[in-house]
Amino acid sequence: MITTQFGFSSTAAEVTAGIDLTGKRAVVTGAASSIGVETARALAGAGAEVTLAVRDTAAGEKTAGDIGGNVHVAHLDLTDLASVDAFTRNWHGPLHVLVNNAGVMACPERYTEQGWEWQFATNHLGHFSLATGLHDALAREGARIVAVTSSGHMISPVVFDDVSYAFRPYDPWGAYGQSKTANVLFAVEATRRWAQDGITANAVMPGAILTNLQRHTGGRGTGTVDPGLFKTPQQGAATSVLAATSPLLEGVGGRYPADCNEARTVDRRGEAPPLQGVARYALDPDNAARLWTYSETLLAKA
């Protein structure tokens, strides 16, 4: 188990204190708002060259100006495979940190032009295509991938027989849950496949943060969350930044940190306190390998 001196209320700036990322290059998706901004700010503040990969480049430019330092902006729409391909083709040189931060939550029923359910496509497939497209850059000098997931993964495993709700009634929370499970499984399998290339991946639970992510949910996520469990964006970015920079995670992958410490594995949702724990199915290596093959097949047919 990875344990640190940090916890629930730690901020991204506290986590990166004393960390020197000079000469390192990072990409943060969805970095024009909330924890994406604070993740990018912390990485840039530690000396990294940071690229904000965003749909709204005007918002990205505003964020880059606010952060200062060596920060760039590039267009990326995770639901548009041509956009993902353009981003990866235009990347030159090594990449040391990839933070798959962008996401959608519990949105109304919607599908991509390929027929993929929108949340699975945005939260998982777009990031999967991005990471695999950047593999060579990530492998050049060794890299860390951070997949931002959620305790919402406990709502549902990946339902491989009907990922895109072709037969089931659409459930916005079920769709969100399986997409967040997919984020964890990606980290497990990416580490297994790519550790020999010097690449590791971890899936992080940032905590409950009030952002525009909850625009479809009335601002409170699933059910009633104790107000004392909510974090600021600076606190919410802390676990992402920890996974991206901490010496304790050098060479370590396939883990699920929450509140800056590795979460314990549970077999039932009630076994862990609210917003804590990781479901065993989300760490299962067979599920992870199956998801990787399934994702490759979908992208190959696109």
**Catalytic residue IDs:** 176
Cα 143 to chain center, whole Å?
A: 15
The whole-angstrom separation of Cα 108 and Cα 119 is: 10
Question: Coil, strand, or helix at residue 107?
Answer: coil
Distance in angstroms (rounded) separating the CA atoms of residues 226 and 229: 6
Q: Which helix (H) or strand (E) holds 27?
A: strand 25-29
Contacts of 183 (CB under 8 A, 6+ apart): 100, 123, 124, 127, 147, 148, 149, 150, 153, 203
Calculate the dihedral angle through the C-alpha atoms of 285, 288, 294, 300, rounding to the nearest 10 degrees. -110
Residue type, 141: E
User: Given its phi and psi angles, is residue 54 left (phi above 0), alpha (psi -120 to 50 degrees) or beta?
Assistant: beta
